[in-house]
Chain A
C-alpha cells in the first residue's frame, strides 16, 4: 500500500509560468516531507523539506505547502525554467523515536518545462 502518492506521472509547463507538483500521503505520523529532483542517470537530489508542524517553507523559486488536514503537500516552482525539467519525488520521513526512521518515496512526477 503506497503511503506517499504522486498521482500525476507527468506535467508540462511553459517557461516562466508556475509549476505545481502534488503529493498525497496516508500516514499522519510522518514528521517531515521532502522533495527530491532527479535527472536521468543521476541520483535524486534533495530540494526542499518541510516539518509537519509548518504549513509553508520557501527557498528561492521553490515553495512547499503542507495541508495536514487534507494530508496533501505541493511544490510550487515560480518561475519555471527549462533546467527544472526533471523527475520530482515527494518523500515522507517518519521518526519512530527509537532511533529508527524511514524515508518513503512517491513514484515521481516528470516535469517538462517548455521554452
Chain B
C-alpha cells in the first residue's frame, strides 16, 4: 500500500534552532504539498512542487522557512531559526497532476520551546 512517509514524527526543539522535516512522496507522484495545521488556521498551504520545481510558496514566511526537493524521492521543509509560533503539525502530501485525491503523510508534530 503506497504511502507518504514523513520524518520525524515528533520534534521538540529550542527557539532559535534549525529544524528540518523530510517527506518521501509516493513513487510516481509529480506534485508535492507542504501544509501546516494549527488550531486557529486549520490546514494552511505552505508550498507546493510540480516535477520538483517550486510552483507556489507564498504561504511560507520567507525569512525563516525554505522548501526544497533535491530529488524526486525527497522533499524537505526547513525552519531557521525556529520560533514558538511555529509549533504545529506539518503535513506533506503527494499526488498526480490529473488526480484529485492527494495522499497525506502522518505529519511531523513540531514543538518549539
- Which secondary structure dominates where chain A touches chain B? strand
Which among B41, B43, B44 has the highest number of chain A CB atoms within 10 Å?
B43
Total residues of chain B contacting the partner, CB 8 A? 24
Give the total of A residues in contact with B, Cβ under 8 Å. 21
Whether B56 contacts A100 by the Cβ 8 Å rule is: yes
A-B contact count (CB 8 A): 55
**B93, A43: Cβ atoms closer than 8 Å:** yes
Instruction: Report the bound CA distance from A63 to B48 in whole Å.
Output: 29
Contact of A105 with B55 at beta-carbon distance under 8 Å, contacts A41-B106, A43-B105, A46-B101 already known: no
Q: List, in ascending order, chain A residues with CB within 8 A of B107's CB.
A: 41-43
Do B55 and A46 have beta carbons less than 8 Å apart? no
Cβ–Cβ contact A103 & B45, under 8 A? yes
21 pairs, A vs B, C-beta closer than 8 Å: A32-B100, A34-B100, A34-B101, A36-B104, A41-B106, A43-B91, A43-B104, A43-B105, A44-B43, A44-B93, A45-B104, A49-B100, A89-B42, A89-B43, A99-B97, A100-B50, A103-B45, A103-B93, A104-B45, A105-B35, A105-B45
